[in-house]
Amino acid sequence: MVSLADRDGYDVGLHLLDRQIIGADDRLVGKVDDVELVLDDDGALVPTALLVGLPALLPRFGRRLGGGLARAHRLVREAAADQELPLVVDFDLVEDVSSEVRLSEPAPGLLHRMAHERAADPRRCRVGDLLGLPVRCAALPRRSKVLDLRMTGAPGRPGEHRVVALLVGPGRPGALFGYDRSSEPGPAVVAALIGWLHRHARVVDLGPAVDIDTDAGVVRIGAEASLAPLRG
């Protein structure tokens, strides 16, 4: 297993979302159903928490299906007052991201319910909301979307994790299956096919030229932004 320390950054959608969260006592905490990000004052996107539970998972099913499922879930769990809010694991506890997300503390008592004020905070957003946002950029095909968020971060050093770049291009988030990352990707036929399907995908570094507008639900990339091809 390759751990975070051996890797040059990681992709939120590929390496973090849907992975298992394991406590320091080797017990399963849950799955990374979504990741909470905060837009810093200096414009940086910083991950603050792993979100766990159906209230975090269901919205990721898309607007129509996800909305319907979330309503159904509220009906079933009406007894609980905080049913709409996911459980939270602070990102500072993340010790390593390999094929699992390992925490620095044991599992029991780790999860706590998200507070209402926190959920309403306009500076906070979820990775699930960002993935799939339409991208407006002159140099990219018109149906381009946000495919993934690229992060840097070192294990054991809280606060260092931050989003540094966006993967943008036509297609569906997650459909790269990690073939943009590995240096010697799996069956050559599959790798070639997926590479061809995503031939228009690009990596764009976050900067003044990139405007993530969560209210309007769109990402605008100015002409001065540098678009690099995917690796491999």
Partner 1 sequence: MKRYFAVLLGILTAIGGFVDIGDLVTNAQVGARLGTSLVWVVVVGVVGICVFAEMSGRIAAVSHRATFDLVRERLGPRMGFLNLVGSMLVTLLTFIAEIGGVALALQLVSSVHHLLIVPFVAVAVWIVLWRARFSSIENVLGLMGLALIAFAVALWQLGPDWGELATGLSPAEKPDAESWATYAFFGVALFGAAMTPYEVFFFSSGGVEERWTEKDIGVMRANVFIGFPLGGILSVAIAACAATVFLPAGVTVETLGQVGLPVAIGLGKIGLAVVVLGFFAATFGAACETGLSTGYSLAQYFGFPWGKYVRPREAAGFHIILLVVTVTAAGVLLTGVDPIMVTEISVVFSAIALPLTYFPILVVANDPDYLGEHVNGRVANTLGVVYLVVIAVAALAAIPLMIVTSMGQG
Compose the 121-160 pattern: x for residues touching partner 1 by CB under 8 A, - for all others.
Answer: ----------------------------------------
Among 5, 27, 40, 216, binds partner 1 (CB under 8 A): 27
CB of 138 to partner 1, least distance (A): 29
Q: What's the 3-state SS for the chain?
A: CCCHHHCCCEEHHHHHCCCEEECCCCCEEEECCEEEEEECCCCCEEEEEEEECHHHHHHHHCHHHHHHHHHHHHHHCCCCCCCCCCEEEEHHHEEEECCCEEECCCCCCCCEECCHHHHHCCCEEEHHHHCCCEEECCCCCCCCEEEEEEEECCCCCCCCCEEEEEEEECCCCCCCCCCCCCCCCCCHHHHHHHHHHCCCCEEEECCCCEEEECCCCEEEECCCCCEEECCC
Using CB under 8 A as the binding rule, whether residue 20 contacts partner 1 is answered as yes
Going residue by residue from 95 to 124, which x/- string records binding to partner 1, judged by CB under 8 A? ---xxx------------------------
Among 5, 25, 28, 231, binds partner 1 (CB under 8 A): 28
Q: Do 185 and 191 meet the contact criterion of CB atoms below 8 Å apart?
A: yes
Q: Is 232 in the site for partner 1 (CB under 8 A)?
A: no
Closest separation in Å from C-beta 30 to partner 1: 5
Among 12, 46, 57, 219, binds partner 1 (CB under 8 A): 57
Distance (Å, whole) CA 135 – CA 15:
22
Q: Does 216 bind partner 1 (CB under 8 A)?
A: no
The CB-of-225 to partner 1 minimum distance in angstroms stands at 27
> Does the footprint of partner 1 cover residue 161 (CB under 8 A)?
no
Nearer to partner 1, 45 or 52 (CB): 52
Closer residue to partner 1 in complex, CB, 42/184: 184
9 touches partner 1 (CB under 8 A): no
How far is CA 128 from each of CA 22, 25, 61, 124, 224, rounded to the nearest angstrom? 21, 29, 9, 12, 27
Q: Which of 25, 72, 182, 228 binds partner 1 (CB under 8 A)?
A: 182
Residue 15 contacts partner 1 per CB under 8 A: yes
Q: 69, 84 in Cβ contact below 8 A?
A: no
Provide the binding-site residues for partner 1, judged by CB under 8 A.
1-2, 7, 13, 15, 17-21, 27-28, 30-31, 33, 52, 54, 57, 60-62, 65, 98-100, 173-174, 177-178, 182, 185-190
